[in-house]
Amino acid sequence: MATIGILSLQGGFAAHQRILSALGHDTLLIKTPEQLLDIEGLVLPGGESSTQLKLIHHAKLFAPLIDYCQSERPVFGTCAGLILLARDVRSPQQESLGQLDVVVERNAWGRQRQSFEARSEKMRWPMLFIRAPKIVSTGEHVEWVDTYQHEPVIVRQGNIFGATFHPELTDDMSIHQMIFGCG
């Protein structure tokens, strides 16, 4: 049984924990660099990316998270987690881990009041967009796993996946299963 870590400094980590547990995984709520040594996969959840970034620095997790992303183990960032993984963040500019070759624009699918539900175009996954970022460009090695309105909403570069929406807030576990398998 694989243990999947979920960054738990701020944000929606409990919903990811629920899905991963239902898939048969043990989970570990990550708050220290040392805990990254004990996991076979990692989730960077939604929340407020600038707050998460401050807490990542405070917990001395910035460099260890970069190292983890480069370890070939699966990493999945949703919404704010995607922002943290991106090469470049806009609206406003923000530091990031720079491990996924995408440019994201914060809140570009709309502010809180414009939150909405939809289905992806290829896999018909249910999607919940809450203050969601848009992926405005991707590098040549980034695969568009699925789209909405002909724009990428879930992407993959090697072992790293990023979603602009919140699959953990739906009842569909297929994205987590695709990335982490069953425990």
What residues are annotated to the active site? 79, 166, 168
Which of 149, 84, 79, 81 lies closest to 121 in space, CA to CA? 149
Strand partners, 7: 30
Task: Label residues 168-177 b or e (16+ Cβ within 10 Å = b).
Answer: bbbebbebbe
